[in-house]
Chains A and B, each alone.
Chain A
């Protein structure tokens, strides 16, 4: 039986938001438009759930 990792209800929201935001800023600079940030965030997130 697979481990149901979703049963862990700890809230990591603030940490994850901060981490991804820092990642985008350091990797792509702080001058990105909101649209570009959002696109980068999609790429990062879908890459890191694998």
Chain B
């Protein structure tokens, strides 16, 4: 799976590139999802998904061929108040959370 690597509020995330339609720098878009507790901020790059949903990113890092993803363990799932992750993987000494298809499929 090829993924888009991005950073938002110091959290490293990855999205299946097949879900991403285009990147945009629209302004004045309200925060997309309070469940991640990401506060609104300006100067953001937005990824427009193929279902037209917009996801913000502080920084788009690049594209990466994702190796095996480690599933979220029951313990970690219990520690996450909301769990948008399909799993985690490491790349260049960093850990990225791969956003799950279910999470991406949700409308705002």
Note whether A and B form a binding pair.
no
Binding site for B on A (CB under 8 A): none
Binding site for A on B (CB under 8 A): none
